Structure 1
Amino acid sequence: MRKITKVIACMLIPVFLLSSLGATQTQATIQGPSTHAQSAALIDVTSGRILYSKDGDKELRIASLTKIMTAIVAIEHSKLDEKVKVSPSAFAKEGSSIYLKLGEEMTLENMLYGLMLRSGNDAASAIAEHVGGSEEGFVLLMNKKAEQIGLTHSHFMNPHGLDAEGHYSTANDLARLTAYALHNPVFKRIVATEDKSAPNPNESWEYSWHNKNKMLRMYEGADGVKTGYTKKAFRCLVSSATRNGQQLAAVTLNDGNDWNDHARMLDFGFEYFPLVEVAKQEQPVQNTDVVTGRGFRYPLAKSEQGSLTKKLILHESRTQSETDGKEQSTDPSFGLAGRIDMQLDGKLVGSIPVYRKGSYIPPEPKTEDATLGRIGDVSSWTAAWRAVLSHLLSP
């Protein structure tokens, strides 16, 4: 068996970074879409780059957009076929409801559909108690996830979004949260669903839920995400759409004309910031013996494409014997050779691994593997690293 006893730390570099960059010079010169929102943001889901922001870091009430966090935390911490029981505190919760009965049991998966399609506050509380042991325990998980993702202007006090002091987020944070959640295939499937039926143990008829998100029916390519409203937060909306292989998500807080504003925001993103293929998988790097480990796409305006630079960083991949202390070359198939850093206007926007020609290159990770942690810290690089080790250590 081959020994791998010492790994150079610089190998563990993220493939994609959750963009926290301010507006680039190009973004500042392109006329952004007009909205009626108090705060708004537009993000490219693949890269995490915020393409447009209007008072995007202003901390505001977010109503039922809270349930985006509720759903992703529940999906990551529980199994979809688990039965969720409706407690007295979840039963007849104020606000929007899917009218669950006291003591009723429903699978977590169906409960999540009721949560996201009909914005059931009763479902939110039932899910929170099931996953977190109590609403308070679940809120701890919500705030921990916010910290992991890098949401620096968000704090949660409940799983449903009813107005509460200390419960807030921002358009930029919600855009980042949505981009993170949309990398999860279960979340992505649920929020794109227009109609869902579920068994009703107390009646002869089934539950039937029609998604409140009108964007699914009025915008070409729309595939999510969540509506929200309270008397203090006013109208809030997160929508997403996919065209030509690019998925965007738009956020507005306190917007009385949100359906039309979201259409304008999404149109703006698709028109001015399409995904550009910067590198292909297994593409030879000029004047070297290395190839790219995977492709890289990034949303770029036409005027930005000449500003994206690539920096090749190679390292010596070595191991240290535990027995004699002598350094030896690694196995030839262990060909991870370094990385290429992608920079836009001098700021790092992502990295891709490079491998020695002829060495094993792990396959592209599945979508769910690309979201092991926050988009900016742990992503496809970790999945690739694990695949390399699995290949080396296999009999």
Structure 2
Amino acid sequence: MTIGLMGVFVLAWSIIPWDRAASVHAEPEPISTHAKAAALIDVESGRLLYSDEGDKQMKIASLTKIMTAIVAIEHGKLSDKVKTSKRAAGKEGSSIYLKLGEEMSLHNMLYGLMLRSGNDAATAIAEHVGGSEEGFVHLMNEKARMLGLENSQFKNPHGLDAEGHYSSANDLAKLTAYALRNRIFKEIVKTKIKTAPNPNEEWDYKWKNKNKMLTMFEGADGVKTGFTKQAFRCLVSSATRNNQQLAVVTLNDGDDWVDHQKLLNWGFAHYPLDEVAHKGQPVNGYPLAVGRTLQYPFAEGEREQLRSKMVLLPVKSTAYALGERGTINWYIGDAKIGSTPVYEPQGARIKLPDREAWSTSLTSHPLSAKPWLTSFWGALKFVLGTLFGGEAARW
């Protein structure tokens, strides 16, 4: 696909056929689950593909540990030795059976946290990384705020039922998509079996992942199980197919293994990931190139509604001095789906117009007897106006 200042208009009449540009996308076939709340998200784009009671605040059991893991990875040092306190060693619920005073690398302890859902590991990690469990919980809530998780509040790092400890299916989907973009987190949660040194015995620890999706669904690569007497069965799973990764969240679902397979298959079938623009792609009619690859999961008929808007940076701005020349914002209808920076090709030093901002749109013009002529004339006026200032605007 060719894009650019001329392409901003050219795409509307040469790439998108006019008889399809006005089409309305077809809604995917309806689907349901046994969950009290559920969500499905595309990891690359962060687009929520399905949501049922997605913003409802609910108990989430050990799905809490998704936040625990990503906060520990971002704030801790993986090679650090984490010492098990009395509070950690005595933590009730699921455990990797750490002993008082036992030391283990943070990296290995994260495997115990995510594969075996160790509450003792969660407590030890929190105390080490946050200085105290309470200090770590503060970091968890700060991360939730930064990610815009409006229906989440954490009171502990393990997920045991506590007053005021909750999240939502949509929030957990967004958190999971964020965490899966971290290579360390991604590697941990897809691991089926992990061994780690055991200082107290002659044999190593050997942890088998509790997430059955890893063996029952082709392409499954995460993420976390959860259960308490108040939260009931909770599950976050992920899978990759055709270079697209999806993640599913279900809360209080008695048939979660089946529902997750169903939702993943539905998502892959109805929202395939497609390229909008790729890094290094030339901007047609302009001495610029796209700076970042952008992909998006389009439902049927949405691709034909794709449009873009180019905004050039002021010449005196800091970003301009660092090499960026502007941004292409991408839309389906009025909804923005992403953006791509644009740069001069390496070695090029071509002066762009000295303007605070110059923008245009890929929006299809209203149909007329000769829409291609209208589009071509608009494109010509735009390029000439860019190259010669405001002179062409009087044409």
The answer as to 2:290 corresponding to 1:302 is: no
Matching of residues 278-297 of structure 1 within 5 Å: 278-297=276-295
2:48 partner amino acid:
I
Q: 1:336 aligns with which of 303, 311, 324?
A: 324
Distance 1:318 1:144 in 2: 35
1:302 is displaced (CA, Å) by 2.3
Question: What is the TM-score when the length of structure 1 is the normalising length?
Answer: 0.79
- Partner of residue 354, structure 1: 342
Residue 17 of structure 1 corresponds to none
Give the root-mean-square deviation of aligned CA atoms: 2.0
TM-score when scaled to structure 2?
0.79
Q: Where does residue 227 of structure 1 map in the other structure?
A: 225
> d(CA) in 1 for partners of 2:225 and 2:25?
28
Quote the residue 1:90 is aligned against.
88
| 2:62 alignment partner in structure 1 | 64
| Aligned equivalents of 2:157, 2:274: Cα separation in 1 | 37
Where in structure 2 are the equivalents of 1:1-395 lying within 5 Å?
Answer: 29-318=27-316, 335-359=323-347
For 2:153 and 2:225, the matched residues in 1 are separated by 19
- Structure 1 residues 44, 102: CA separation in 2 closer, same or farther (over 3 Å shift)? same
> 1:282 Cα deviation (Å)?
2.1
Which has the larger displacement, 305-314 or 282-291?
A: 282-291
Matched residues in 1 for 2:280 and 2:336: separation? 22
Q: 2-side partners of 1:216 and 1:357: how far apart?
A: 43
2:329 aligned counterpart, secondary structure: strand
Secondary structure of the 1:316 match is coil
**Contact 1:334/1:359 (<8 A) preserved:** no
Matched to 1:352, the amino acid is T
User: How many aligned positions are there?
Assistant: 327
| Cα distance change, pair 196–287 in 1 and its aligned pair in 2 (3 A) | same
Q: Distance in 2 between matches of 1:27 and 1:332?
A: 38
Q: Which runs of 5+ in 1 are unaligned?
A: 1-24, 320-329, 362-395
Structure with the greater alpha carbon radius of gyration: 2
Distance 1:352-1:332 versus aligned 2 partners, 3 A rule: closer
Q: Deviations over 1:43-97 (max 9, x none)?
A: 0001101010011000000000000000001111111111111111111311101
Counterpart-to-counterpart distance in 1, 2:348 and 2:241: 33
Q: Residue 19 of structure 1 corresponds to which residue in structure 2? A: none
* Structure 1 Cα separation of the partners of residues 84 and 319 of structure 2: 56
The alpha-carbon deviation at position 285 of structure 1 amounts to: 2.3
Contact 2:26–2:301 under 8 Å retained in 1: no
Quote the offset at 1:345 in angstroms: 2.2
Which amino acid is 1:286 matched to?
N
Cα distance, 1:318 vs structure 2:
2.2
Q: Distance in 1 between matches of 2:158 and 2:216?
A: 26
Percent identity for Structure 1 against Structure 2: 64
- In the alignment, the residues of structure 2 paired with residue 60 and residue 32 of structure 1 have an alpha-carbon distance, to the nearest angstrom, of 24
Distance 1:265 1:117 in 2: 23
